[in-house]
C-alpha cells in the first residue's frame, strides 16, 4: 500500500484521486447497454462496469488508507492541510516548520514533523516510551538521526552518551511518552538545560514534555511546553492529555 513521507505528497495524491474518482463515476453513469445489443456486447459492457466499479472501490480504499497513514491519531482531522506539517500558519522565508506531539497511554503516540517530513511516528515504528529525539541540521534542515530512551527501566548513561555526540548548531526535537524522568540524573538534566530547556531540571514521572532546542545556544528556547498531572483531581486518568506544539524555527 502506498505510504506518503510528506504531507505535501499526500495533498497532491488526494487531489489526483478526487479527479480520477469523478472520471470513474462519469464512466459508470454514461455507459449503458443498448436494447438492440447482442449478448456478446452486453457481456462486454457488464464486464467493463464491474472493472470500473472495482477500480473505483480500490481507489477509495487506497485514499482512505493513505489518509490514516499521514493523519495519524486524527492529528489533522480538525483542519485542512494548508501548510507544512499541517500547521495553522505558514512559515516566513529562511524558517523551518515543525510540529511536536507528546504521547499518552490513552492512544496518542509521539509525533515529530520537521519541514513537512514526518521524522518520528508510530507508522515509522521509531517511537517508544520515554524520551524520543530527532536531531536535525540547523542549516540544511536535513535529518541527522532519531533515537529513543526508556526512562523507566533503561540506563540513563545511554541518554548521556547520546547527548554528548550532538554537534553545535544541531536542532534537537524531543517528545516524551509515558515516563520521561524516573531514570533522569543531574548530568542528563544539565545537558538538556544547556540545549535551551527551561523544564528539564524539574521533569518528573508522567509529565508530558515537548521541546525544540539547539546545541550551542546561549539563551532559553521559546519552543517548549510541559504538562503535569494533578494526582488529587486526576486520580482516574493519572495521565496528562496530549501536548502539542507547532511553529517556525529560524534557519541557522
pLDDT digits (tens, 9 = 90+) for 154-190: 999 999 999 999 999 999 999 999 899 999 999 999 9
Q: How far apart are CA 22 and CA 194, in angstroms?
A: 55
Residue 99 · residue 113 · CB < 8 Å: yes
The tally of domains found in the chain comes to 2
Judged against a pLDDT cut of 50, whether residue 22 lies above it is answered with no
Is 2 within the bounds of a domain? no
Whether residue 108 is found in the same domain as residue 221: yes
Please indicate, yes or no, whether residues 116 and 28 belong to a single structural domain of this protein. Answer: no
Q: Do residues 86 and 119 share a domain?
A: yes
Close Cβ partners of 83 (under 8 Å, ≥ 6 residues apart): 89, 90, 91, 97
108/22 same-domain check: no
**Nearest Cα residue to 192 out of 222, 212, 207, 208:** 212
Which pLDDT belongs to residue 129? 93
> What does the pLDDT average to over 5-19?
50
Cell of 244: 502539542
Residue 239 falls inside a structural domain: yes
154 and 64 fall within a common domain: no
Do 190 and 106 share a structural domain? yes
Q: Quick one: 212 and 113 in the same domain?
A: yes
Domain limits at 49? 7-70
Distance, CA of 117 to CA of 9 (rounded, Å): 10
The C-alpha atoms of residue 72 and residue 62 are separated, in whole angstroms, by 15
Domain-embedded: residue 1: no
> Which of 221, 141, 212, 208 is closest to 181 using CA atoms?
208
Same domain? 20 vs 133: no
Comparing C-alpha atoms, which of 6, 25, 140 is closest to residue 66?
6
> Which of 30, 52, 70 is at the close of a domain?
70
**In percent, how much of the chain has pLDDT > 70?**
62
Weakest mean pLDDT among 16-20, 91-95, 146-150, 166-170: 16-20
For 64-91, what is the mean pLDDT?
63
Residue 66 has pLDDT above 90, yes or no: no
% of the chain with per-residue pLDDT over 90: 56
pLDDT at 83 over 90: yes
Looking at the structure, do residues 128 and 14 belong to the same domain, yes or no? no
- pTM: predicted TM-score of the whole model, two decimal places: 0.69
The count of other CB atoms within 10 Å of the CB of residue 91 is: 19
Does residue 48 sit in the same domain as residue 86?
A: no
**DSSP single-letter state for residue 166:** P
48, 70, 92 — which closes off a domain? 70
Residues 105 and 64 in one domain: no
pLDDT for the residue numbered 58? 57
Amino acid at each position: 500500500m502506498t505510504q506518503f513521507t510528506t504531507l505535501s505528497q499526500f495533498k497532491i495524491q488526494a487531489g489526483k484521486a478526487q479527479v480520477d474518482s469523478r472520471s470513474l463515476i462519469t464512466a459508470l453513469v454514461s455507459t449503458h447497454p443498448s436494447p438492440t445489443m447482442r449478448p456478446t456486447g452486453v457481456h462486454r459492457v457488464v464486464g467493463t462496469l464491474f472493472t470500473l466499479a472495482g477500480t473505483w472501490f480500490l481507489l477509495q480504499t487506497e485514499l482512505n488508507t493513505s489518509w490514516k497513514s499521514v493523519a495519524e491519531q486524527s492529528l489533522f482531522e480538525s483542519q485542512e492541510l494548508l501548510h507544512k506539517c499541517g500547521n495553522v500558519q505558514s512559515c516566513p522565508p529562511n524558517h523551518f516548520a515543525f510540529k511536536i506531539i507528546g504521547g499518552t497511554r490513552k492512544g496518542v503516540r509521539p509525533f515529530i514533523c520537521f519541514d513537512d517530513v514526518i521524522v518520528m511516528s508510530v507508522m515509522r515504528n521509531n517511537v517508544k516510551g520515554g524520551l524520543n529525539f530527532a536531531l536535525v541540521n540547523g542549516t540544511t534542515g536535513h535529518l541527522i538521526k532519531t533515537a529513543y530512551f526508556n526512562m523507566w527501566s533503561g540506563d540513563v548513561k545511554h541518554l548521556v552518551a547520546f547527548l554528548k555526540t550532538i554537534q553545535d548548531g544541531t536542532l534537537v526535537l524531543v517528545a516524551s511518552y509515558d515516563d520521561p524522568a524516573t531514570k533522569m540524573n543531574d548530568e542528563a538534566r544539565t545537558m538538556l538545560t544547556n540545549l535551551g530547556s527551561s523544564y528539564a531540571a524539574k521533569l518528573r514521572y508522567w509529565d508530558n514534555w515537548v521541546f525544540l532546542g539547539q546545541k550551542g545556544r546561549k539563551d532559553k528556547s521559546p519552543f517548549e511546553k510541559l504538562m503535569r498531572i494533578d494526582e488529587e483531581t486526576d486520580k482516574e486518568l493519572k495521565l496528562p492529555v496530549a501536548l502539542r506544539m507547532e511553529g517556525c524555527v529560524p534557519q541557522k
